Amino acid sequence: MYKCKNRGVIVGPGDDAGVFRYKDTLMVETVDIITPIVDDPYTFGAICAANSVSDIFAMGGTPLTALAILGFATCDFSAAVIKKLLKGAIDKLHEAGACLIGGHSIEDNELKFGFAVSGVVDRKSLLKAGGAKTGNILILTKRLGTGILTSAIKTGKVKKTFLKEAVDSMLTLNNIPSKAAVSAGAKAATDVTGFGLLGHALNMARNSGTDFVIHNEKVPLMRKVKDLAAAGAAPKGAKKNLEFCSSNTGFSGNICEGDKLALSDPQTSGGLLIALPQKELKKFDRIMKKDKMPYWEIGEVVKGSGQIIVK
């Protein structure tokens, strides 16, 4: 992997965001862009913003500014649609404490939207993919299933009413879980997005030099996701993620193919996966409950060499 020799680089490629030291400030930088997963432009814009700022929260940081990146076919989308898209994004950025300060658009046959986001982080608050310690417990802060559900709705396998849970989840910011993780002394976290739970957990385990044990029955899924996955109704991304992770993942005999696909499902604006010191769970719980934020304890970190064990 490429490594920058600049001494200002605190965290380089391979984590959720880069961290650069400028004088006494640690700057957090990230970029993300996605294609439409819902029809309403305002909602899609808000989801894009939540998805992009999530990387800053996954590092324990605070987002400050964002630059929009938009690709669209001018013949297919009117100015009114683009305005709604931007309005949704701006409102969600405002909720996150960030502001839109510019951007760039290009002509593209497929609609694409996202942001380059800049933020700051205190060194003592920095969360990295490589900070998990043996004995930590694994916390997940959102249910899985956005990829499977949105794909199934597009193909008519389930009714659109099942999309509400996924949309509500994708619109929820990861700021509170990030704050709770930092306050409870966590040093490692990632946000679960395109590589699915298994892919992002594997990256954390490798970077930490540990093994992650995940208890399948404790992993929360959205409604209908288990049934859809069991029927093989999963997007190509889930199957590719599973293929990529399989050589470094040990599955117990009772884990069926559908469960494996659900664990590999690519998420949009997913939750945080946090490696938390066991003794600090009560403090984490107190902060999360205060803001009525859900979370699930799904496993633990054990001595190892960068493998996933699913029981």
List, for residues 189-244, the tens digit of each pLDDT value. 999 999 999 999 999 999 999 999 999 999 999 999 999 999 988 999 999 999 99
pLDDT at 232: 86
User: What's the confidence (pLDDT) of residue 159?
Assistant: 85
- What is 9-124's CATH superfamily? PurM-like, N-terminal domain (3.30.1330.10)
User: Model confidence over 282-302: pLDDT tens digits?
Assistant: 999 999 999 999 999 999 999
158-183 pLDDT per residue, tens: 888 889 999 999 999 999 999 999 99
The answer on pLDDT for 95 being more than 80 is yes
Backbone angles phi, psi at 184, to 5 degrees: -90, 5
- Give the confidence band of 85 by pLDDT, cuts at 50, 70, 90: very high
Cβ-contact 128, 187 below 8 angstroms: yes
Beta-carbon-side half-sphere exposure of residue 244 (alpha carbons within 13 Å) = 20
Query: Given this model, what pLDDT does residue 278 score?
Result: 96
Is the pLDDT reported for residue 140 higher than 90?
yes
Question: Which residue in the block uniquely carries the two structure tokens 């559900």?
Answer: 149
Structural contact between residues 243 and 269, judged by C-beta atoms closer than 8 angstroms: no
Closest CA to 249 of 218, 274, 217, 214: 214
pLDDT at 139 over 70: yes
Fold exhibited by the domain 128-310: Phosphoribosyl-aminoimidazole Synthetase; Chain A, domain 2 (3.90.650)
> Domain residue spans in the chain?
9-124, 128-310
User: Per residue in 274-302, is it b (16+ CB within 10 Å) or e — as a string?
Assistant: bbbbeebeeebeebbeeeebebbbbbbbe
Of 108, 107, 103, 93, the C-alpha closest to 45 is 93
Answer yes or no: are the C-beta atoms of 19 and 27 closer than 8 Å. yes
> What pLDDT score does 102 carry?
97
Band of pLDDT at residue 101, cut at 50, 70 and 90: very high
Report the pLDDT value the prediction gives residue 83, as an integer from 0 to 100.
Answer: 94
pLDDT at 253 over 60: yes
> Quick check: 3 pLDDT over 80?
no
Predicted confidence (pLDDT) at residue 2 exceeds the cutoff of 80: no
* Terminal Cα distance for the chain, rounded: 31
**What is the rounded average pLDDT of the residues 28-51?**
96
Q: What is the mean pLDDT of the chain?
A: 95
